[in-house]
Copies of this chain bind each other. A is one copy, B any other.
Amino acid sequence: MLAHTNTQQLTKVVIFGVGLIGGSFALALKKQAAVKQIVGVERNQNALERALGLGIIDVAGADLAAALDGADLVLIAAPVAQTEAILRAIYPHLQAQTIVTDAGSTKADVVEAARRALEDKISQFVPAHPIAGRESNGPDAAIANLYQGKKLVITALPENSPSALNLVANTWQRCGAVPYYLNPAEHDQVFAAVSHLPHLLAYALVDQITEQPQAELRFQYAASGFRDFTRIAGSSPEMWRDISLANRAALLVELTHYQAQLQRISNALQHSDGEQLLAIFSNAQAARQRWSQSIESAEPPPKEGGD
């Protein structure tokens, strides 16, 4: 196998799903002149043509055998529920030199799907998750700097070779991302806590308000606190249904803890227990400030963000 370095140009990258995530990956690689040819594969014909028109991809791949022939790297940037079907379609055409990676927000289920679909070629699959996004979707939302300074989590398989890991890590680094390594279960627990549960909670709050009497009056007085708290409720419902189901075991653990936490707060309110409320609020405020100082100094907030 070739040793891939940060400066070597790839011959061919194939991207399944040319929306925000896949399209931004393509634009970043093009900006760095990191690849000779980008082939897009996409079920949505309009999106495929749009991506071609916007110069995000060079070729709209129709025939999988042709698309995959001579590919260095394949990125699957479709909703996680489609990963297994895509990998099964890839399998017969997957050449020995090609490395496949994904951009799914959950990893344990993706690894299971990949093992079922790729069987003896599993070493060629490097599961990964770029921690970046926006609320808008589709090729028109793609931007070259989406991954600048953002984390890329690689949940390496024991079968992955160092050169396979390096190819994925280095290609994402050329998009501006910073690679980190977790195991799949760890990944899913971490993101259930800091991303998937908050999405559920934000959707739950907005849905609740719509079902109340005087919903319009309530929305009318919602201000900037509400705006930021519910920003993630503007995310794609289909994508988050898939993520919730794919990571439901870890998500249920977090949700159950959270329900117990809310019951503690409800009890404190019922008993007008200001000390208990203050303890929870103070601990949270201090932790939020520490987080803000340590993380936001490393990753300055973008104008519009998501994950």
Contacts and interface: CB of A to CB of B under 8 A. Distances in A.
Q: Which has the most chain B C-beta neighbours within 10 Å: A131, A287, A290, A296?
A: A287
Contacts of A53: none
A195 B226 contact: yes
A86 interface: no
Nearest to A273: B245
A245 B288 contact: no
A232 B228 contact: yes
A210 interface: yes
A197 B237 CA distance: 23
B217 A186 contact: yes
Nearest to A278: B241
A305 B285 CA distance: 16
Q: Looking at chain A's contact residues, is the secondary structure mostly helix, strand, loop, or mixed?
A: helix
Contact of A278 (B225, B237, B269): B237
Contact of A223 (B151, B283, B294): B151
A285 B234 contact: yes
A46 interface: no
B208 A296 contact: no
Interface size class for chain A? 35 or more
Contact of A266 (B198, B217, B259): B259
19 contacts: A151-B223, A180-B221, A194-B219, A195-B226, A204-B280, A206-B283, A207-B283, A208-B261, A219-B294, A223-B305, A227-B292, A228-B305, A229-B231, A234-B288, A237-B285, A242-B274, A244-B277, A245-B272, A259-B262
Interface of A: 131-133, 150-151, 153, 180, 186, 189-191, 193-195, 197-210, 212, 214, 217-238, 240-242, 244-245, 248, 251-252, 255-259, 261-263, 265-266, 269-270, 272, 274, 277-278, 280-285, 287-292, 294-296, 299, 301-302, 305-307
Given A198-B230, A209-B287, 8 more contacts: A151-B221, A198-B226, A201-B229, A207-B281, A224-B306, A234-B289, A237-B281, A245-B274
